[in-house]
Structure formats: structure tokens, C-alpha cells
Amino acid sequence: MARIVSRGITKSYPLPHGTGRQVALQSVNLEVEDGEFVCLLGPSGCGKTTLLNIVSGLDGEYEGDLSFVRSGALVASTERPRIGYVFQEARLLPWLTVWQNLRFVLDRGNLSESQLGQRIAQWIERVGLAGFENYYPGQLSVGMQQRVGLARALIIEPEVLLMDEPLSALDELTAMRMRDELVRLWMERACTVLFVTHNPLEAVYLADRVVVMTSSPGQIVAELRVNELLSRPRDLEDARVWALSRKAVQLLENAVAKKAIDG
């Protein structure tokens, strides 16, 4: 697995007609430990997705330093860890079936097609989609599509898993099942997770640590170490989960209020 280390990450975008630049992230320092589950919590537009895109390598235009550490040693930039990315929308290839979408992301390596097929079948079973192998994305519900997206990210056996509000479009019952499945699969894989959410209760339920960001330009202003206060498995009906989610809300409100005062 791998640890994520960001130092002074700053990202800005040019404004129209050359009138300057909009700063999206400013001096973001964040470490996510090997195997840790961290949730980024913050208002819309605070740069959470931008930070994920930088960590994933999709965005290479930024200031500061982003690195990975594996077994105590810095990972060379040419040898980035395997990264799985689950987007807010599933982003499946609509002309491919569930099976084909998963096969598309797999390198053959030393595996035979039969072995690859076994792996695909196992992951389809794990996310509860056995029997839907030959369905196209348009034939699936939003929740089922997101399950395929989760399987697609995990089937490559990532060292780092990035998730950008993957459950926000789901009804609450489906989201509850997906959260439980996600925790179960993460505990099996023990990969490093950086999960973006607007939902404080979801953050406390899922995370070892909740990191609070303030509005644009995005900065990290507080954190809540959930794993020091709650063991796993967790229960959404547990009063302690609700109390900590209120603490997360307070941290978020304080961050927004301070930003408004500071201008």
C-alpha cells in the first residue's frame, strides 16, 4: 500500500479575458497514512475534487509537492502507485456490458483469460451484481451503475482509492447498503482511501479521520480523529456517531464563518 503526502499544494485557474487567476486550493498540507480512510468534508467549490484530481495524476498543473511513500521509501514519480478512482457519476462505457467494463481496466499480466474471467466474476459477486454481467449501463439503475464503478476501481487491486461523492446521487437506503459494502471491501483490501463528501454523518460513519476544508480558496482548517473515539463496526443508530457528526458540522460551520470574517 502507499501513503499520500501533499505539501503546499496550490492550484489556480485563469479568469476570462486575462483578468487574473482564481485560486482553488491554497497551501494544502495533507498526509493520508498507509491503509487509512480519510474523508474530505467541505462546502461546494472548496477544491475537494480538484485535490483528488491532483492526487490521481489527472491534473499535473499545480504548485507544491505531491508524493507517495511505500514501505517507508519515497515512490519515484515514474512509478506511481496503482490508483482506483470512483467518480460521482459511474462513468461507465455505455457500449460495453458490465463484464466488458471490468475487463477493460484489467491488464492481462501473467494471467490467462480464464483467470481474468474468474477475477471479474468474483468482483461482480462481491458488489451484488451476479446475473447482470451482460447488461449494459443504460439497463442498470444508478445504484447498480455505482456498484460497477466501485468494482472497476477495486478490481485493479489499488494501493490508493479515490472517491468523489460516489453515493450522493443514491437514495438513502441504497446509500446505506453501499457504505457498508465499501467499508467491508476496504477492510479486505486495506488500501489507502481519500473520500470526498458533503455529508458529515457519512464522513463520521466511514472515516478513520475527517479533514475539514474551507471555501475557495480551499484550505484544510480542522480535523476530527474518529478512529480514536469510535471502533468498528459502526452503527448509524449509535448516539456517538450522531454526536460526532454534529461535531463535524460545528467544525465546518466554524471554518465557513472564519472565512467570511477573514474575507
Lowest mean pLDDT of 17-31, 52-66, 201-215, name the range.
17-31
Q: Flag whether the pTM goes above 0.85.
A: yes
Query: Do residues 92 and 128 both lie within one domain?
Result: yes
pLDDT at 263: 57
Return the pLDDT at 44: 84
- pLDDT tens-place string over residues 79-106: 889 999 999 889 999 999 999 999 999 9
The answer to whether residues 25 and 47 belong to one domain is yes
Phi-psi region of 235 (alpha: psi -120 to 50; beta: other; left: phi over 0): beta
Is 130 in the same domain as 158?
yes
Is 197 part of any domain?
no
Quote the pLDDT of residue 167.
87
Query: Residues 30, 48: one domain?
Result: yes
Listed in sequence order, the DSSP H helices in the chain are 48-56, 98-104, 113-126, 142-154, 172-189, 200-206, 239-262
Whether residue 243 has pLDDT greater than 60:
yes
Supply the pLDDT for residue 255: 77
Q: Report whether pLDDT(51) > 90.
A: yes
Residue-level pLDDT at 121: 96
- Check residue 48 and give its pLDDT: 93
Domain CATH code at residue 115 = 3.40.50.300
**Helices and strands in the chain: count of H runs, count of E runs:** 7, 10
**pLDDT tens across 4-47, in order?**
999 999 999 888 877 778 889 999 999 999 999 999 999 888 89
pLDDT digits (tens, 9 = 90+) for 124-166: 998 889 999 999 999 999 889 988 999 999 999 999 999 999 8
Q: What mean pLDDT comes out for the span 58-76? A: 92
Helix (H) / strand (E) element for 3: namely: strand 3-14
d(CA 142, CA 155): 20
> What is the C-alpha to C-alpha distance for residues 197 and 48, in angstroms, rounded to an integer?
9
- Domain extent for 121: 83-185
The CB-based long-range contact list for 15-18 (8 Å cut-off, 24+ gap) reads: none
As given in the structure block, the three cell numbers for residue 40 are 474530505
pLDDT at 260: 59
Whether residue 24 is found in the same domain as residue 90: no
* CB 191, CB 197: distance < 8 Å: no
User: Do 138 and 58 fall into the same domain?
Assistant: no
Does residue 150 sit within a domain?
Answer: yes
User: Mean pLDDT over all residues of the chain?
Assistant: 91
Q: State what percent of residues in the chain have pLDDT above 70.
A: 97
Contact of 205 with 193, CB cutoff 8 Å: no
In a domain, 210, yes or no: no
- Does 208 fall in a domain? no
47 is a domain residue: yes
- The tally of domains found in the chain comes to 2
Instruction: Please return the burial class of 232, using the count of CB atoms within 10 Å of its CB with bins 0-12, 13-18 and 19+.
Output: exposed
Q: Does residue 101 lie within any of the structural domains?
A: yes
The arithmetic mean of pLDDT across residues 155-178, rounded, is: 88
- 177 in a domain, yes or no? yes
Tell me how many degrees the CA angle 31-37-38 measures, rounded to the nearest 5.
Answer: 55
33 with 116, same domain? no
Is 36 in the same domain as 68?
yes
Q: Within 10 Å of residue 17's Cβ, how many Cβ atoms?
A: 6
Q: Express each pLDDT in 110-122 by its tens digit.
A: 778 898 999 999 9
